[in-house]
Amino acid sequence: MVKTQIQFPERLYREAKRISTEYEMSFAEVVRRGLEEAIKAYPPGRTPPDQWELPVGRRMGKSLLPESDWNLAARDEA
């Protein structure tokens, strides 16, 4: 095992402590289980953002947006 020190936002810390109390496990066990789930959600082998390129030749139909607006549309939260 590795021992380390980390900082949490207050809300996240309180929720983790609540889980540890309600489910009768240590705070460390809650953190370990959370990290196990994060590792499953983010598997290795993902292309780093600086190497990613828009796939071409997929024949998925004509885009409703001109290519020049794709970046803006991807960041639109509406």
Per-residue tokens: 76: 């639109």
Using CA of residue 58, residue 62, residue 67, residue 71, what is the dihedral sign?
Answer: negative
Going from the C-alpha of 67 to that of each of 15, 20, 29, 43, 73, the distances in angstroms are 43, 49, 47, 30, 10
Q: In this model, does residue 3 exceed pLDDT 90?
A: yes
Calculate mean pLDDT across residues 67-74: 75
Rg (CA), the chain: 21
Prediction pTM value: 0.57
pLDDT single digits (tens) 16-57: 999 999 999 999 999 999 999 999 988 888 767 777 777 776
